[in-house]
Structure 1
Amino acid sequence: MKLAVIGGGSTYTPELIDGFARLRDDLPLTEIALVDPDATRLELVAGVSRRMLAKAGHPARVVATADLAEGVRGAQAVLFQLRVGGQAARNVDETFPLQCGCVGQETTGAGGLAKALRTVPLVLELAAQVKEHAPGAWIVDFTNPVGIVTRALLDAGHRAIGLCNVAIGFQRRFAKHLGVEPSRVELGHVGLNHLTWERSVHVDGEDVLPDLLAQHGQAIADDLHLPLELIQRLKVVPSYYLRYFYQHDIVVEEQRSAPSRASEVAAMEEQLLKMYADPAVDTKPELLSKRGGAFYSEAAVALISSLLGDRGDVQVVNTRNNGTLPFLGDEAVIEVPAKITAAGAVPLPVEPVEPLYRGLIAGVSAYEELALQAALHGGEGRVRDALLAHPLVGQEAIAAELTRLMLERQS
C-alpha cells in the first residue's frame, strides 16, 4: 500500500512516521512518498524517517521527491499538510490583526482568512494533479484552516475528508484522567473545525462528563487556559480555540506583550531540523511534542485504515453537514463523529445544539462560506465581507482596515 504526503518536508512528518511504525498492523504500508519543493528540508526529514522505520523494523520504503506526479502515482491515500509561505507568513497572520485590536491567530479571525486566501488556490491545484495521477485516492486534509480547505476540495468534486487532532487530543486526555483505555472513550463532539464543544464523554455507554468535570475540572480548565467557573457553568468542554471568542480582549493583550507563536515554532523547527540532520537520531524527538499536532499520526492511521478497509467505525472528521445540524446548509463542512467506510464519512445524528453554541456555529459557518468565495475569486469586497461576518471582527471600520492590511501583505 502506497501513501503520499504533500508537504512531506514538514517537521511534523516524523510524528506521522512514528505512528506508521507503531500501528503497522492497522495500516500495512509498503511505500511512503514525501513530496515537497524544499529539497533541503525534504532530505533531512526523509533521512530521519528512513532511520525511524529501519529501527522499528518496518519494511516500507521512503521516497523523497519534488515531483508531485511521481510522488502520488499509485497512492491509495494522499495526506495534505502544507503551509504556504512557511512560518514567516504565519508570523504576519498572527501579528497584523493586533494592530486593529483583534486576535492574531493562524486559523481563525483575520489571520485565518489570510491563510485561506493563500492556501485554497494551491490546494486545489495540487488536488487536481492528485486526481489525474492517482484517480480514486482519498485526500485527507490536515492543512489549516481545515474546514474551509475541506469544503473547497469537496466543492471541486474531490474525494476528501478533513482531519484535526483536537478530538483525539481530548479523548486521550480524558482517558488519562479517568484511568481507562482511550478506545473506551467516545466524545459528543460537535461544531466546526477549531470551534467545537464536548457535550458528552461516554465510557462503555455511560456519560461520565459530569463526574469528569467534578473531579478533574481544574486540570481541564488549566489545559484550556479558561476559568474553571466558566467550564462548570457551561457543563461542557470547549476546545481551546474557544478562548479566542470567550476571552478575546484578554488574549489580544497577552499576544501584544509576547512573541508570536510563529516565532516560537520557527525556533523549534530550526532545532528539529538540526536533530534530523544527525545520523544518530532514529526516533521522534521529544521536542516535537511541543511543535503541535499531538496524536495526529494516530488519527491519520485510523482514518485511512477505515477508508481503505471499509471498517464502518466512528471517528471525528470534517465532512459535509447534509442535514446533521439543521440550522446550517447541507454544503457546510462540520466536525462531528461520523461512520467511516470505503464510501466516505456519514455523520452520526446529533442532539439539538443549544442556542449558546448554535449561534456561534452558524456565524462562523457563514464566515467560512464567504471566506471560500474570497479565496476562489479574490476581490477586496469579498475579503471585507468575510471579515465583517466573522464574530471576532464584526465592525465595518475594523473590517476595512484589516482588509487593507491583509491585502498589502498578500501582494
Structure 2
Amino acid sequence: MRLAVLGGGGFRVPLVYGALLRDRAKPRVEEVVLYDVSAERLEVIEHVLRRLAAGHDDPPVVRTTTDLDAALRDADFVFSAIRVGGLAGRTADERVALDLGLLGQETTGPGGIAYGLRTIPVAMRVAERVAALAPRAWVINFTNPAGMITEAMRQVLGERVIGICDSPIGLIRRAAAALGLDPARVSPDYVGLNHLGWLRGLVHEGRDVLPGLLADDAALRQVEEARIFGPEWARTLGALPNEYLYYYYFTREAVAAISGPTRGESLLSQQEAFYAAVRARPDDALAEWLSARRQRDASYMAEARDATDAGERDAADLEAGGYEGIALALMAAIARGEPATMILNVRNGSAVPGLPEDAVVEIPCTVGGAGVRPLATRPLPGRLLGLVQQVKAVEQTAIEAALTGSSRLAVEAFALHPLVDSVSVARRLLDGYRARIPELAAVFPS
C-alpha cells in the first residue's frame, strides 16, 4: 500500500514512520510519500527516517516531493498534518488573543478559529486533488483544528475523510491504568467534539467502573486530567473532561499562567534549532530528534499543570504513544478488515442527540473493511450539551466564512465563541490576525 503524508517535513512524522516499521502484518504500507512545501524540512526528516529504518528488514520505501499531485496520485491512504502559516502563524494565533486579554491557544478559542479560517481553503484544495487523483483513498486528518477541518473536507470527500486525535485515548488509558485495568479491555462512554469531550463511563466486564474512580482520591491522583481539574470538579461533572476543557473551566487561570513564551514560541525556537542541527550534522539526525521530542512531550500543556500543581507528566504515559498508533490501527482496520472500536471524528448523523446531522463529532465508532460506523451515545445533560452546541455553531460559521471569504461571518465566528467576551473584541481579533498572518489576510482581504 502507498501512504501519502501531507506535512511530510513536520517534526512528528518520524512517529508515524516508526509505527509503520513495527507493523509486519499484510497488506502493509510499503511506500511512504512525504509532501511538504519546504524541501529543506523534507530533507531533514528524511535523514531521521533513514536512521530509524536502519536494521529493519524491508522498511517502507520513502520518497519526498514538493508536488502535491505527485504525492497524492494512486495513494491508498493520505495522512494530513499540514500547518498553514507554520509555527510563526501559531505564535500569532496565541499572541493576538493574549494581547486582547483572551486565551491564546492553538486549537481552542480565538487561536483555533484563526487557525481554521486560514487552513480550510487549503484543506479543500487538498480534498479536491484527492478526489481527482486518488478517489479510492482514505484521508486520515490530523490537521488542527481537527473536527472543523474534517467537517469541511467532508463536503468533497464524504465518508472517506476521518479525523483522529490522541487526547481521548490518552484519557481512557490513564483512567483504566488508575484502576489497574487493561485499557484494551474497557469500553468508554466518551462524547463531544475534538478537544471538547467527556469520559462519562468506563465499562469493564459489564460494569461501569468510572463512578468508583471518581470517588477514589488516591486513584484520581494517578490521572493527569483529574489532577488538572481537581477531584471535586470531576465529581461535580460526574465525568472526566478532556484536558482541553481546562481552557473553558479555568479560563482566567489559563490566561494568567501564560506569563513567558507561549507554547508556539517555545516550539518555534526548539524546532528551528532541531532543523538547523540536522542540516549541520545529518549523521546525528535521530539523536537530535529524540532529544527534541522528549523536550516537546514533557512541556505539553505545561501551563495547565503548573497552574494547578498537577506535577510532571507520567513517564510511562509519555512512552505509550499517541496519534501514530491511532492512524496505524485505523489503516489496519480498513485495509485488512481487522474490526476495531475507536474514538474518531466522524459525521454525527443521529449518534449525538441535539447536534446537526452533518456536524462532525468525536465519539466511539466501529471500524472495519466496510469503513466507519459511529455508535449511538446517551444524550448529553444540558450543562454539557449547551457548550457543545455553541462551539459547533462557531465551527460551522467559521467553515462558511472561510469558504466564502466573508469577513462578516469570520467576526460572527469569533463573537459567538464562549471564550470571546465582546463583539468589538471579535472585530479586533480579525483585524489583528489579518495584520499578523498573511495566509489569513489572503482569505479575508477586507
Give yes or no for TM over 0.5: yes
Instruction: State the percentage of identical aligned residues.
Output: 35
3-state DSSP of counterpart to 2:139: strand
- Quick check: 1:232 aligned with 2:259? no
Q: Retained in 2: the 8 A contact 1:19–1:298?
A: yes
Distance 1:286 1:207, change over 3 A: farther
Alpha-carbon deviations, 1:350-386, whole Å to 9, x = none? 0121111111011111111101011111222111111
Distance 1:249 1:350, change over 3 A: same
Distance 1:269 1:101, change over 3 A: same
Give the Cα separation in 1 of the matches to 2:227 and 2:269.
24
Query: 2:398 aligned to 371, 381, 387, which one?
Result: 371
Give the Cα separation in 2 of the matches to 1:27 and 1:282.
28
Residue 185 of structure 2 aligns with an amino acid whose one-letter code is: R
Q: Retained in 2: the 8 A contact 1:15–1:288?
A: no
Alpha-carbon deviations, 1:180-239, whole Å to 9, x = none? 433123321100001010011223443221233314212325666222321122221101
Quote the residue 2:364 is aligned against: 337
Give the Cα separation in 1 of the matches to 2:58 and 2:294.
22
Provide the TM-score with structure 1 as the length reference.
Answer: 0.94
Give the Cα separation in 1 of the matches to 2:239 and 2:291.
31
Query: 1:260 aligned to 247, 262, 269, which one?
Result: 262
Residue 7 of structure 1 aligns with an amino acid whose one-letter code is: G
Residue 185 of structure 1 aligns with an amino acid whose one-letter code is: V
Of the structure 1 ranges 330-339 and 246-255, higher mean CA displacement relative to structure 2 is found in 246-255
Structure 2 unaligned blocks of 5 or more: 301-320, 442-446
Q: Retained in 2: the 8 A contact 1:171–1:186?
A: no
Quote the residue 1:208 is aligned against: 209
Q: Retained in 1: the 8 A contact 2:162–2:344?
A: yes
Give the Cα separation in 2 of the matches to 1:48 and 1:251.
35
Quote the residue 1:21 is aligned against: 21
Give the Cα separation in 2 of the matches to 1:240 and 1:146.
16
- Quick check: 1:47 aligned with 2:62? no
Alpha-carbon shift at residue 165 of structure 1 (Å): 0.8
Alpha-carbon shift at residue 285 of structure 1 (Å): 1.1
Give the Cα separation in 1 of the matches to 2:156 and 2:282.
42
Of the structure 1 ranges 205-214 and 102-111, higher mean CA displacement relative to structure 2 is found in 205-214
Q: Retained in 2: the 8 A contact 1:221–1:227?
A: no
Residue 343 of structure 2 aligns with an amino acid whose one-letter code is: V
Structure 1 unaligned blocks of 5 or more: none
Q: Retained in 2: the 8 A contact 1:154–1:160?
A: yes
Quote the residue 2:94 is aligned against: 94
**What is the aligned length?**
410
Q: Retained in 1: the 8 A contact 2:27–2:335?
A: no
Quote the residue 2:422 is aligned against: 395
Residue 184 of structure 1 aligns with an amino acid whose one-letter code is: R
Spell out the pairing of 1:102-251 with structure 2 (5 A cutoff): 102-158=102-158, 159-213=160-214, 214=216, 215-220=218-223, 225-251=228-254
Residue 340 of structure 2 aligns with an amino acid whose one-letter code is: D
Quote the residue 1:10 is aligned against: 10
Provide the TM-score with structure 2 as the length reference.
Answer: 0.87
Give the Cα separation in 1 of the matches to 2:212 and 2:26.
33
Of the structure 1 ranges 226-235 and 188-197, higher mean CA displacement relative to structure 2 is found in 226-235
Give the Cα separation in 1 of the matches to 2:284 and 2:292.
16
